Structure 1
Amino acid sequence: MKTLLSGGTVVTLDPAAGDPDRGDVLIEDGVITEVAARIDAPDAEVIDATDRIVLPGLVDTHRHTWQTAFRGIGADWTFAEYLTAVHGTLKPHFRPEDVYLGNLLGRLEALHCGVTTMLDWFHCAQSPAHADAAVAALREAPGRSVFCYGAGWGTGEPVDAEVRRMRAALPDDDGPLGMALGLRGHDETGTALLADELALAADLAIRTSLHTASDGVRRPVAELREHGLLRDTTTHVHGNGLADDELRMLADAGCSVSISPDVEMKMGFGLPETGRMLAAGLRPTLSVDDVPSVGGDLFTTMRTAFAAQRALDGGLRSRDVLEFATVDGARALGLGDRIGSLTPGRAADVILLRADDPTVFPVNDPVGTVVAAGHPGLVDTVLVAGRVVKRDGALVGVDLPALRSRVLESRDRIAAAAGIPLGGGRPEPR
């Protein structure tokens, strides 16, 4: 099967291919085979990309998708209040069905916003059935996903057998649904448990993700290095407060980093460490984190990261930020040779943004426009592995009214059981 994206403003993010002002992209059997100013493919299905910016799909490297039904209720919460409400009060009332619905709606939301690849950092693993429900939802949503299993999160319980069970169910990291391991923080459970989990991940050939930050006193990365626990397969999330030498330790070890600028600033983590990470030799990747607190699209995330760093030193460039959300994110997930740019031989994960929308027209600099003014309303068409999953601004084959109804029932049941007010207010532990 062949598909030709014809006549768009193409941003390949591949230095060898360049960015044609008017270009075509040919896709065969889910793979990009050619990018050129004009391509003759009479046997291909043609998608008219006139007045569209053609980009690689966006990559979110850290999202707690199971919380989607409680969108917006934490807009005024501090991080401590978020922990109290979500993990201490709401989570105990989540059934597997609730996890399924939150993950499905959240993954569809990300896809609707042009996120073709997303790491789902799952820490509502109250039973194997909860984990299975999360995976079922990711399978149903037609995006590329990585299930990052935070098994035993918040406890010191052994998880070896459960993680192995899930790995047997998700053996193919090159397919539409891969697996990673969400590590428990060594500050809570100790370095011995972290060492065991890293060994488990290595045995199962899966990547890992770890929430890492400092209050300015603790030196968590230095401690990890001291114990030989820095891995080039680990993504360190947030990184706020880490010392300059600790950031260099991460870079020297080949680690990747994921920042969540909106959550980090509004919940009191501090400014995102974008510039300091770049200075240390790290390429940040971007993540939404959680939608009870912030919006679920990476356009806003890009803009926040860009503006915050420009306010500090004025040096960050828009192309860097777009690379954070594409090629750098792909590398962090171990998919750097498969996605992230419009390069022949890579999977055809592609988004088409409206360039004729009054909020961005006329598009004089496509990269600058996407980073400084992009928004979900521009996402006209989305392809994952060459399959059209959003066309003319609407997700294909998704019964959103039925899903909305089920999500509302789930939300109302959990909120009533937990005593959480949906109209705002401060959470109280129960």
Structure 2
Amino acid sequence: MRILLTGGTVLSLDPAVGDFASGDVLVEDGVIVEVAERIDAPDAEVIDATDRIVLPGFVDTHRHTWQTAFRGMGADWTFADYLATMHGTLRPRYQPEDVYLGNLLGRLEALHSGVTTMLDWFHCAESPEHADAAVAGLRDAPGRSIFCYGAGWGTTDPIDAEIRRVHSGFSGNGLVTMALGLRGADYTTMDTVASDLELAAELGLRTSLHVASVGTQRPIADLREHRLLRATTTFVHANGIADDELRMLADVGSSVSISPDVELKMGFGWPMTGRVLAAGLRPALSIDDCPAVGGDMFSTMRTAYAVQRGLDGGLRSRDLLEYATVDGARACGLETRTGSLTPGKDADVILLRADDLTVFPVFDPAGTVVTAGHPGLVDTVLVAGHVVKHDGVLVDVDLPALRARLLESRDRIATAAGIPLGGTWRPLPESE
């Protein structure tokens, strides 16, 4: 199966390949085989990329996808509101079917906006059936997904048997793979972190954990003291982490995932983009949770860019494209498979409309994508060479039926939780 993307403005995100004002990308059996100004492939299926910007699909390194049904509910939430509502009030009412629908619709929405690779940080493991439903939701969406299982999140309960059970259902290097969501260092004990890391190493799983510094806390230094820093771990947020601790992460080869919109809105502190770079790390980007923020990488890039430019005048627009593609792929351990339009990598490709009035005329393609891009520009999406969105429409997806099921799920959970639908809702302070 050969596909030729022809006549588009190509941003390869690979310095060895370069960019083309007008170029072609040839895909064979799901893999990029050539990127050039002009490719002769008379036997290939042709996708006309005229008036399109062709670039690698975005990589979201951390999203709590199960929360999709409550999109927009947390627009005004603090982090305390989020914990009280999503985890204290709503999560206990979730049934496996609710998890399945949240993951499926959330993953489809990410694909719709050009996110070809997404790490699903799952911490709604109310039962083994909930975990199985989350995996099924990802598998029923045609994207490249990583099920990062946060089993026993916030506890010291044994998780070995459950992790092994879920892991046994994964095989090879398919589109849906597995990672382990660590429970420390902010939420549990060092012994628990050590045990989880040992299990992850045995099963060959990468790991991810939420971390921040409050007051005099030095979580990264504590992990290093206990010899628990790993190159295969992604640290999410890292707000307030000291500069020398960031250098510890750089020394061991860890990665950092920044969620700028949530971090600013919920009071985590300034996104760590500039400080992470100064420490010798390359940041990756993530959405975090859609009840509070939009689910697209365009707004995420724009926020990270504007904030850091405001703080120190640093960064170029193209830097943000790299964080959202090649650096995200590296943080997920997928740098040899995706993240750039490099011959030999899987064809995870998106085509953005350059003739849309919101961006026309395009002078600087990279600058336009970062400063003015939005999901409405996403015309075509390929994952491993398969067209999953074309002419602005997801392929072979019955959205009306799925929308109806998700609304039914949301309404049932909200009613069970005693939360009225519509308008603004926040939990009452404890004093009230």
Give the TM-score category using the shorter length. over 0.9
Alignment of 1:380-399 (within 5 A): 380-399=379-398
CA distance in 1, matches of 2:32, 2:149: 31
Q: Is the 8 A contact 1:216 1:242 kept in 2?
A: no
Q: Is the 8 A contact 2:156 2:189 kept in 1?
A: no
CA distance in 2, matches of 1:128, 1:278: 39
Partner of 1:56: 56
CA distance in 1, matches of 2:70, 2:319: 32
Deviation at 1:156, TM superposition (A): 1.8
Partner of 2:424: 424
Partner of 1:164: 164
Partner of 1:183: 182
- Secondary structure of the residue aligned to 2:239 is coil
CA distance in 2, matches of 1:188, 1:142: 33
- Secondary structure of the residue aligned to 2:343 is coil
Q: Which amino acid aligns with 1:297?
A: D
Partner of 2:20: 20
CA distance in 2, matches of 1:13, 1:137: 30
Alignment of 1:66-215 (within 5 A): 66-172=66-172, 174-215=173-214
CA distance in 1, matches of 2:45, 2:185: 52
CA distance in 1, matches of 2:418, 2:115: 33
2:294 is aligned with 1:290: no
CA distance in 1, matches of 2:166, 2:186: 26
Partner of 1:250: 249
Worse overlay, 208-217 or 90-99: 208-217
Worse overlay, 72-81 or 148-157: 148-157
Deviation at 1:421, TM superposition (A): 3.2
- Root-mean-square deviation (CA), in Å? 1.0
Q: Which amino acid aligns with 2:42?
A: P
- Secondary structure of the residue aligned to 1:137 is helix
Q: Which amino acid aligns with 1:78?
A: T
- Identity between Structure 1 and Structure 2 (%): 76
Partner of 2:224: 225
Q: How many residues align?
A: 429
CA distance in 1, matches of 2:118, 2:87: 22
CA distance in 1, matches of 2:283, 2:256: 5
Partner of 2:270: 271
Alignment of 1:334-345 (within 5 A): 334-345=333-344
Partner of 1:7: 7
In the TM superposition, structure 1's runs of 4+ consecutive aligned residues that sit over 4 Å from their partners are none
Instruction: List gaps (5 residues or longer) in structure 2.
Output: none
Q: Which amino acid aligns with 1:103?
A: N
Deviations 1:281-335 (A, max 9, x none): 1111000000000000000000000000000111111111100000000000000
Q: Is the 8 A contact 1:88 1:429 kept in 2?
A: no
Q: Is the 8 A contact 2:59 2:116 kept in 1?
A: yes
- Secondary structure of the residue aligned to 2:347 is coil
CA distance in 2, matches of 1:421, 1:82: 17
CA distance in 2, matches of 1:188, 1:47: 49
- Secondary structure of the residue aligned to 1:186 is coil
Q: Is the 8 A contact 2:186 2:211 kept in 1?
A: no
CA distance in 2, matches of 1:95, 1:370: 39
- Secondary structure of the residue aligned to 1:189 is coil
Q: Which amino acid aligns with 2:22?
A: R
CA distance in 2, matches of 1:166, 1:373: 41
Partner of 1:47: 47
Q: Is the 8 A contact 2:185 2:211 kept in 1?
A: no
Q: Is the 8 A contact 2:7 2:24 kept in 1?
A: yes
- Secondary structure of the residue aligned to 2:201 is helix
Deviation at 1:425, TM superposition (A): 2.2
CA distance in 1, matches of 2:187, 2:210: 12
Q: Is the 8 A contact 2:160 2:199 kept in 1?
A: yes
Q: Is the 8 A contact 1:65 1:102 kept in 2?
A: yes
- Secondary structure of the residue aligned to 1:166 is helix
CA distance in 2, matches of 1:372, 1:28: 33
Deviations 1:380-413 (A, max 9, x none): 0000011000000000000000001000110000
Deviation at 1:16, TM superposition (A): 0.6
Deviation at 1:188, TM superposition (A): 2.8
Q: Which amino acid aligns with 2:121?
A: W
- Secondary structure of the residue aligned to 1:187 is coil
Deviations 1:101-145 (A, max 9, x none): 000000000000000000000000011100000000100000000
Q: Is the 8 A contact 2:186 2:210 kept in 1?
A: no
- Secondary structure of the residue aligned to 2:6 is strand
